[in-house]
Structure 1
Amino acid sequence: MACPHLAYRESDGDRAFETARAYCTVVDEFVRPVRADTCTERYGLSPERDCEYFRAEAGLDWDE
């Protein structure tokens, strides 16, 4: 299962891309492909537990 906050976009509004790029809706910016590949449940990661972007946006400390 992919991260629910990860979208793949074919443009940035000004220009089109040859292939869709990973876009994190939590921070409203494109993220590195390697990061997007690891942001999935199949690697045992979850946004609520492991993503520093999600946790910062939600105001969560790492000990919570």
Structure 2
Amino acid sequence: MDETCQHLSYREEGDGKSFDTARAFCTVTESFVQPMRADVCNARYDLDPATDCEFYVERDAETTDGSDTDADRGDGEAE
């Protein structure tokens, strides 16, 4: 497992605002995540995104079973 979730990025702006420090952004939910959630994404404290994050697991299942839709790819609104 990579140390960082493939669906996590850090952004210095979003939602019409800019930040002094980059904030964790989940590309599955298309939203900024709380620091505790980023701990899972970054595999801290023996957490594993593939097993400890419901968003990661749900996204992985969707892309492997062929049900990837426009919304799942981020082309539409997040659920």
TM-score normalised to structure 1 length: 0.70
Task: Find the counterpart in structure 2 of residue 53 from structure 1.
Answer: 55
2-side partners of 1:2 and 1:48: how far apart?
Answer: 11
User: What one-letter code is carried by the residue in structure 2 that aligns with 1:2?
Assistant: T
RMSD, aligned α-carbons: 2.1
Pairs aligned (count):
60
| Amino-acid identity (%) | 47
Structure 2: unaligned runs, 5 residues or longer: 63-79
Q: How does 1:19-38 map to 2 (within 5 A)?
A: 19-38=21-40
Structure 1: unaligned runs, 5 residues or longer: none
User: What one-letter code is carried by the residue in structure 1 that aligns with 2:14?
Assistant: D
TM-score normalised to structure 2 length: 0.60
2-side partners of 1:38 and 1:58: how far apart?
Answer: 16
RCO higher in structure (CA 8 A, sep ≥6) = 1
Structure 1 residue 46 displacement after superposition = 3.0
